[in-house]
Amino acid sequence: MDSQEPAKPADMLRPLTERIRSDVLIGTFRPGEWLRQIDLQETYGTTRAQIRRSLDDLVLMGMAEHVPNRGIRLVAPSTEARSQISEIRTILEREAALMMVKDVRSGDMGKIAEAAAAFEKAVEIGSYAELRRLNHEFHRVLNGCLVNTMMATLLNDLRERNLPGSWSGWVSATTLKASSDDHVEMVEALRKRDGPRLADIFTRHINRWRTSRHLHPDYSD
């Protein structure tokens, strides 16, 4: 019998793990950076045992890896791994698009539009960490309109599995603007309940890094 624990969905994480995970997602830690327990204890003001449990959570989620006799470090997904995850995401998110246009409610629509607008505004004046945070929030709010919460959790987990490898993020002002424009188009497609259009935008958004990586391998979606 396989005794390995399954990866934990983000919604099931302990509070300290969620704090560290959120800091990873906004770029506080670099891909490949060693997560030293004593440093994390000081940063988060908690015990060694609590830090150890949270690091174990990150390993189970695929955001960090245990290196024998060295410790735990953040992963930096290879191009091949990112390609495979993108293929899976494309299949799932195209189907999710058709579900979203049926599930989305007026209250959801307002929150999604606000999240897209916040990111669009930050493109002009926001810091890297702020852009990362707002981008993360937009996708979480968007997926949150799904009635199928297991699908929403899976989409979030797959997307965020790539993020520890994205330090510099968007490769230029042009690709950053393109990402924001995608968000705006997603909102419009949702408003019109145009599932096929939304599916096509998702596909483009997920896979833009493939055409941008010759400029920078760490393009974020």
Tens of each residue's pLDDT in the chain, 221 residues = 444 444 454 444 589 998 998 888 878 888 889 999 999 999 999 999 999 999 999 999 888 999 999 999 998 878 888 899 999 999 999 999 999 999 999 999 999 999 999 999 999 887 888 888 899 899 999 999 999 999 999 999 888 876 654 544 565 778 889 999 999 999 999 999 999 999 999 999 999 888 765 444 455 66
Q: How many CB atoms lie within 10 A of CB 13?
A: 18
Helix axes 195-212, 173-191, angle to 10 degrees: 170
Check if the beta carbon of residue 206 is closer than 8 Å to that of residue 94.
no
Q: How far is CA 42 from CA 13, 46, 196, 208, in A?
A: 21, 7, 49, 39
Q: How far is CA 211 from CA 197, 205, 215, in A?
A: 21, 11, 9
The pLDDT of residue 2 is 44
The pLDDT of residue 203 is 97
Check if the beta carbon of residue 72 is closer than 8 Å to that of residue 59.
yes
The pLDDT of residue 163 is 61
The pLDDT of residue 130 is 87
